[in-house]
């Protein structure tokens, strides 16, 4: 009997099974939202953090410093990937996912309570860096953990859609964070926002983390992990095994994540500051256009995931990647017009391209690896790419503009990375009908 047939028969049928899967998806989506809301608020507070924690007579230099700290949160992610991935494969997905949301909530809340440079001097940016590292350690385990958890609970024929419906919740937190910042900056005076208003989104991390933690403790462990544990096939050294046996799949996963991370963090971590500081667009217009783009991404992801269940992950990734490479330069040229309509159209193109790519990517990340090393292999590959390309996206984009004098330079960087990654994606095996069990 084939593995596919075996998996289909093992999965319990009926309404009870459907309810169990929906419960897992709901808990993962809410946990995903909480985790990425906490991580996203830093980007929208970047301009005020630059003045409060990195005082400098040159606003561009201060913004560079803040984006450097933004990147620090990503430096910790490969470390977290090795640690959390290893724990997830050895001790289960459920407990690890509960732990990462707790760490994220604590570190985000503490950022909201930090004294500024004016109060404690150089200790302020040092503490900010340490808390960003804590956020990075937590973020390292979230996406792959949630995607694995949902994929291992889902029936094969709708696995991509189920993962996509959860994975897309990483696009909603920046929208909520942006609208919250917009509301605060509209209601409060500039002095009040700079004094205490910017702290509000960070302080929300505490109650959100408590809610997410409670929900994540109310679901069942992954069937794939339970099966491994009962048959005593849990991998004792997943890091060593994955580098020895799965390095080719790690290269593919890294390449997919490179495109996803660069697109995501260019849009969520950079574009707001790019529009307000470089282009000179009003902050309200920048927040509105950015939110619209991310909402388009939010709704596009599950559609693209559904299509990938039908035509395959590889084909959908190639189509989406080519589309993204084609629209990057025109989108950056259009946003340079400096008007709200231009900003909406340009970012909507980028948001659409991102959603089309995220759709198949969410499931592909975890389908590439066998269950015994899935969390480890996918986490290390994914987080290395997100550190190299996602965490540095705002910093490199700002540097490229300063180096070339062209506001379109970051778009050409996106095109180059996407084309190189697609050359690897062409070689990947199709995964949409693979078993989630070993």
111-160: pLDDT as tens digits: 999 998 889 888 888 888 889 888 888 888 988 999 999 999 999 999 99
**Residue-by-residue DSSP string for 196-229:** IITHHHHHTHHHHHHHHHHHHTTSPPPHHHHHHH
pLDDT at 397: 87
Contacts of 389 (CB under 8 A, 6+ apart): 257, 258, 261, 262, 265, 417
Contacts of 159 (CB under 8 A, 6+ apart): 151, 309, 363, 367, 432, 436
Structure tokens at 105: 């909530």
pLDDT at 338: 81
pLDDT at 382: 95
pLDDT at 438: 66
Does 8 have pLDDT greater than 60?
A: no
70-90 pLDDT, tens digit per residue, is 667 778 889 999 999 999 999
Structure tokens at 176: 């909520």
Say if CB 389 and CB 54 are below 8 A apart.
Answer: no
**Stretch (H or E) spanning 195:** none
Does 433 have pLDDT greater than 60?
A: yes
Lowest mean pLDDT: which of 65-74, 95-104, 201-210, 351-360? 65-74
> What average pLDDT score do residues 28-54 get?
80
Does 9 have pLDDT greater than 60?
A: no
Does 57 have pLDDT greater than 80?
A: no
Helix-helix angle 59-91:123-153, to 10 degrees: 40
* Cα dist from 287 to 46, 63, 322, whole Å: 13, 18, 27
Contacts of 142 (CB under 8 A, 6+ apart): 31, 32, 35, 36, 97, 100, 101, 104
Say if CB 84 and CB 100 are below 8 A apart.
Answer: yes
What is 17-230+239-425's CATH topology? Growth Hormone; Chain: A; (1.20.1250)
Lowest mean pLDDT: which of 56-60, 183-187, 379-383? 56-60
CA 257 to chain CA centroid, nearest Å: 10
pLDDT band at 63 (very low <50, low <70, confident <90, very high): low
- Look at the alpha carbons of 426, 171, 169, 83 in this order and tell me if their dihedral is positive or negative: positive
> What average pLDDT score do residues 168-191 get?
86
CA 395 to chain CA centroid, nearest Å: 17
pTM of the model: 0.85
**Residue-by-residue DSSP string for 164-192:** HHHHGGGTHHHHHHHHHHHHHHHHS-HHH
pLDDT band at 285 (very low <50, low <70, confident <90, very high): confident
pLDDT at 187: 93
Other C-beta atoms within 10 Å of 126: how many? Answer: 12
Quick one: which of 99, 81, 273 has its CA closest to 181? 273
Lowest mean pLDDT: which of 32-36, 166-170, 380-384? 32-36
Does 5 have pLDDT greater than 50?
A: no
> What average pLDDT score do residues 350-356 get?
96
**Dihedral angle of Cα 399, 411, 292, 71, to the nearest 10 degrees:** -40
Does 12 have pLDDT greater than 50?
A: no
Residues 205, 282: Cα–Cα separation, whole Å: 28
Contacts of 102 (CB under 8 A, 6+ apart): 209, 213
Helix-helix angle 340-367:313-335, to 10 degrees: 160
Radius of gyration of the chain (CA): 21
pLDDT at 319: 97
Burial (CB count within 10 angstroms: exposed 0-12, middle 13-18, buried 19+), residue 118: exposed
Position with higher pLDDT, 332 vs 48: 332
Lowest mean pLDDT: which of 211-220, 267-276, 302-311, 416-425? 267-276
Residues 300, 304: Cα–Cα separation, whole Å: 6
pLDDT at 56: 65
Residue positions counted in the chain: 438
Quick one: which of 372, 374, 370 has its CA closest to 3? 370
Residues 52, 316: Cα–Cα separation, whole Å: 44
pLDDT at 275: 86
Structure tokens at 46: 């970047």
Mean pLDDT of the chain: 87
Count Cβ neighbours within 10 Å for each residue of 219-236 and write b for 16 or more, e otherwise.
beebbbbebbeeeeebbe
> What average pLDDT score do residues 58-72 get?
66
> What average pLDDT score do residues 256-282 get?
85
pLDDT at 311: 96
In the chain, where the domains are located:
17-230+239-425
Say if CB 204 and CB 179 are below 8 A apart.
Answer: no
330-350 pLDDT, tens digit per residue, is 999 998 888 889 999 999 999
Does 279 have pLDDT greater than 60?
A: yes
Residues 287, 267: Cα–Cα separation, whole Å: 11
pLDDT at 61: 63
Lowest mean pLDDT: which of 69-78, 162-171, 176-185, 240-249? 69-78
Structure tokens at 97: 């996912």
Other C-beta atoms within 10 Å of 298: how many? Answer: 19
Does 108 have pLDDT greater than 70?
A: yes
């Amino acid at each position: 009997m084939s593995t596919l047939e075996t998996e289909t028969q093992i999965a319990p049928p009926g309404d009870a099974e459907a309810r169990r899967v929906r419960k897992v998806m709901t808990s993962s989506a809410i946990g995903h939202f909480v985790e990425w809301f906490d991580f996203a608020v830093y980007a929208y507070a970047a301009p005020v953090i630059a003045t409060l924690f990195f005082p400098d007579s040159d606003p561009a230099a201060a913004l560079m410093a803040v984006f450097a700290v933004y990147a620090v949160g990503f430096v910790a992610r490969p470390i977290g990937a090795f640690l959390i991935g290893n724990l997830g494969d050895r001790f289960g997905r459920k407990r690890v996912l509960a732990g990462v949301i707790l760490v994220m909530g604590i570190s985000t809340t503490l950022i909201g309570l930090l004294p500024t440079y004016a109060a404690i001097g150089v200790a302020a940016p040092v503490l900010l860096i340490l808390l960003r590292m804590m956020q990075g350690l937590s973020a390292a385990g979230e996406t792959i953990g949630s995607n694995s958890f949902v994929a291992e609970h889902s029936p094969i024929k709708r696995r991509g859609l189920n993962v996509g419906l959860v994975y897309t919740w990483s696009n909603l937190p920046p929208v909520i964070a942006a609208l919250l910042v917009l509301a605060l900056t509209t209601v409060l005076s500039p002095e009040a926002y700079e004094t205490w208003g910017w702290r509000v989104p960070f302080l929300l991390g505490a109650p959100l983390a408590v809610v997410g933690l409670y929900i994540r403790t109310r679901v069942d462990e992954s069937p794939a992990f339970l099966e491994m544990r009962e048959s005593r096939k849990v991998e004792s050294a997943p890091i060593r095994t994955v580098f020895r046996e799965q390095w080719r799949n790690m290269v593919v996963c890294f390449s997919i994540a490179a495109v996803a991370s660069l697109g995501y963090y260019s849009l969520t971590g950079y574009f707001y500051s790019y529009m307000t500081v470089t282009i000179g667009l009003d902050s309200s217009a920048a927040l509105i256009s950015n939110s619209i783009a991310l909402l388009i991404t939010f709704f596009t992801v599950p559609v693209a995931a559904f299509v990938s269940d039908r035509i395959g992950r590889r084909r959908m990734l190639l189509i989406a990647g080519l589309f993204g490479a084609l629209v990057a330069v025109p989108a950056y040229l259009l946003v340079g017009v400096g008007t709200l309509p231009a900003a909406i159209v340009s970012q909507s193109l980028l948001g659409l391209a991102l959603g089309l790519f995220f759709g198949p990517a969410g499931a592909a990340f975890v389908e590439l690896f066998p269950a015994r090393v899935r969390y480890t292999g996918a986490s290390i590959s994914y987080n290395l790419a997100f550190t190299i390309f996602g965490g540095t996206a705002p910093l490199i984009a700002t540097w490229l503009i300063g180096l070339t004098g062209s506001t379109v330079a970051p778009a050409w960087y996106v095109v180059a990375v996407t084309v190189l990654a697609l050359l690897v994606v062409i070689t990947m095996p199709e995964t949409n009908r693979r078993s989630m069990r070993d």
